[in-house]
Amino acid sequence: MLKILKYSFFDLIRSRWSYVYLLFYLLLGFVLLFLNEDLSKAVITLMNVIIILVPLIGTIFGVMYYYDSKEFTELLLAQPVKRSSIFIGQYLGVSLSLVMSLVIGLGLPFVFYGLFQSSAIFDFTLLLVTGALLTLAFTAIAFNIALYNENKIKGFSYAILMWLFMAVIYDGLFLMFLVIFDTYPLDKFSLIATMLNPIDLSRILILLKLDIAALLGYTGAIFKEFFGTNTGLFSALGALMIWVVLPVFNIYRKSKKKDF
Amino acid sequence: MIKIDNLHKKFGKNEVLKGVDLNIPEKGIFAVLGPNGSGKTTLIKSILGMVVPDKGKIFIKGKETQQNGAYRSDIDYLPQIANFPNNLGVKELIKMIKDLRGVNADYDELIKVFKLEPFLNKKLNNLSGGTKQKVNIVLTFMFDSQIVILDEPTTGLDPVALIHLKNLIKKEKEKGKTILVTSHIMSFVEEISDEIVFILEGKIYFKGNLQELREKTGEADFEHAIANLLMKDHA
C-alpha cells in the first residue's frame, strides 16, 4: 500500500492542478491576512471558503483520479498486490497531496504573518485540521461513487450532486424543517442533522472553537448547551472522523468484490 | 500449468462465460480467439483474479487461485489499453512496477530493442499511443515469470516494433514458458501460435493446433478457417 501511495502522491504533486490549488490558497491566505486588520475575522472568512471549496476539490479530484487511472489500475490489479492496498493507496495519494496543498498554501501566509506569536494559533490549527478531515472525507466519498459507477459521466454527475446537496441543499432543507416544525422541540433533531453532514459539522466545530457559536444561531446554541465547549469540540471532531473512516472502510469492502 | 474448471460469469443479465473448461499445459503459445464480446477478456481477467467468477475454479501450477493475489507473481500480464500515471516518467514507472513485484527486472535490453532511451525521463502523458504500448511491453517482459498473458499486444505498434515483439514472444517460448495471447490480427496469430482456443458465446468451441483447425473447417487459409468457424454458428 505504501508503495502505491508513494507513487500516486508523486504523480499528483507534479500535476499542474495541484500547483493551481496551492497558489489559490497562498493568494487567499496572503490577501486575507494582510488586508484584514482583525485576525479572527480572517479565520472566519477562511473557514467559509474552506468548508465549501475543500469538499468540492476533494470530490472532483477523487472522481477524476479514479477514472483517469482506470487502465493503470488494471495493470496494478494484475500484480501480486492485494486489491485493497491498491485502492486505499491511491486514495491516500490523492487526499494527502490535496491536504499538503492546503496546509502549505494557508500555512505559509500565516507563518509570515507571525502566527507563532499570536494567540490565534489554535484557531488556525483547528481550521487546518478540519480542512484536512474534510478533504479525506470527500475524497473517500468520491472514490466510493466512482467504484459504484462504471460510467464516467454518471459518476461525475453523482459526485457533483452529492457535493451540491451537502454544501447547499442540505442547509436549505434543514432550515425549512426547523421553520415548519418550530412548535416542536427540535434540539435533538438539529444535533443529529448536523452530525449527518460533514460540512455543517465542520462549521460548528470552528465556530465553537472561536467561541462565537451564537453567530450560528439555533444549532450552535444547542451544541454549546448540550456539550459545553470542549466536549462539543471533541464530539464534533469525532463525528467528522467517522465521516472519514466509514467511506474508507467501504472502499476496502467494495474493492474486494468488484469486477474490473 | 493453467487449469480452468466449469467457469461461469454473469454481468447483470449478460451471461458471458457459460461453463468454460480449459487445460493449458506447460510450454507453448496459446491463442485465445473469438468474436467481439465472446468472453476472451473476461476469461483472461478471471485467470488474473480481476474478475470474480460466479462459479468454477481456476488452478495455477496446480494450486487454486486465492483472493490475496500472491499467485500473480507467477504471471506477467500485458493489458489491452496502455495508460499510465500522467506525471511520472518512463523510468519511474518501470521502477514502480519493479518495486511492487519485489523481484529482479531486466529492462535495459528491452529499452534498447524498442528504442525507448530518448523517452526515459519524459512524462508519460507526453508519449504517443505506440510509444506507450512499447513501455507497456517493457513492463510485461522485464520479469521472468512462468506464465505470460498478452491482451492484444500488437495495438498501435509500427512494423519494426511488431517484428521485435514477435521475436520477444518466440524467445520467451524457447525458455519454456506458457504464453496466452489474444489478438484480432489473424496473420500475427497464425505466425506465432502453437495452439488455438476458440471461444464462442461463453464456451470453448474449438481447441487444437492449426492443422486440426484446417481439417475441421476444410479451409486451407487460416483467416478463412476462423471466419468459417464464426459463420457456421451465426448463419
**pLDDT above 90: percentage of residues in chain B:** 25
Task: Looking at the complex, report in whole angstroms how far the Cα of residue B221 sits from the nearest Cα belonging to chain A.
Answer: 35
Is A81–B67 a contact, with Cβ atoms under 8 angstroms apart? no
Question: Rounded mean pLDDT of B84-89?
Answer: 89
CA distance A146 to A161: 13
Using DSSP's 3-state secondary structure scheme, residue A217 falls into coil
Residue B58 phi, psi dihedral angles, 5° rounding: -125, 130
Is B88–A11 a contact, with Cβ atoms under 8 angstroms apart? yes
Tell me what pLDDT residue B149 has. 92
ipTM: 0.86
Highest mean pLDDT among A151-165, B39-53, B137-151, B174-188: A151-165
CA distance B194 to B228: 20
Residues B153-175: pLDDT tens digits? 988 888 999 999 999 999 999 99
Q: What angle do CA A231, A103, A242 make, to 5 degrees?
A: 40
Cβ atoms of residues A42 and A32 within 8 Å: yes
How is residue B84 written as a grid cell?
499510465
CA distance A257 to B52: 7
Which of A64, A77, A253, A255 would best serve as a mutation to test chain B binding (most B beta carbons within 10 A)?
Answer: A77
Which of B68, B87, B91, B137 would best serve as a mutation to test chain A binding (most A beta carbons within 10 A)?
Answer: B87
Tell me what pLDDT residue B12 has. 84
Superfamily of domain B2-234: P-loop containing nucleotide triphosphate hydrolases (3.40.50.300)
Residues with pLDDT less than 50, chain A: none
Tell me what pLDDT residue B137 has. 92
Q: What is the dihedral of CA A23, A25, A30, A31, to 10 degrees?
A: 100
Residue B235: pLDDT over 50: no
CA distance B10 to B16: 6
Tell me what pLDDT residue B233 has. 57
Residue B181: pLDDT over 50: yes
The conformation of residue B37, written as its DSSP 8-state character, comes to T
Nearest CA among A77, A257, A82, A146 for reference residue B50: A77
Residue B185 phi, psi dihedral angles, 5° rounding: -90, 100
- Bridge partners of B75, per DSSP, are B147
Tell me what pLDDT residue A228 has. 61
The structural domains of chain A, with segments of one domain joined by +, span 2-257
H or E element at residue B195: strand B195-200
Tell me what pLDDT residue A123 has. 80
How is A61-93 classified by DSSP, letter by letter?
HHHHHHHHTHHHHHHHHTSSS-HHHHHHHHHHH
H or E element at residue A230: helix A218-257
Nearest CA in chain A to B132: A72
Residue B93: pLDDT over 80: yes
Tell me what pLDDT residue B207 has. 86
Which of B83, B92, B155 would best serve as a mutation to test chain A binding (most A beta carbons within 10 A)?
Answer: B83
Tell me what pLDDT residue A19 has. 92
Tell me what pLDDT residue A125 has. 86
Nearest CA among B149, B163, B118 for reference residue B41: B149
Largest Cα–Cα separation, chain B: 53
Helix axes A83-113, A218-257, angle to 10 degrees: 150
Q: Which amino acid is at A229?
A: T
Lowest mean pLDDT among B28-37, B57-66, B225-234: B225-234
pLDDT band for B119, please (50, 70, 90 cuts). very high
How is B10-21 classified by DSSP, letter by letter?
EETTEEEEEEEE
B57 CB neighbour count, 10 Å cutoff: 12
Residue B15 phi, psi dihedral angles, 5° rounding: -85, 110
Partners of residue A19 in chain B, C-beta under 8 Å: none
CA atoms within 13 A on the CB side of B15: 10
User: Between the CA of residue B182 and those of A49, A219, B114, B160, B193, what are the distances in Å?
Assistant: 52, 62, 21, 20, 10
* A 59-78: CB under 8 A from B: 68-72, 74-78
CA distance A185 to B29: 75
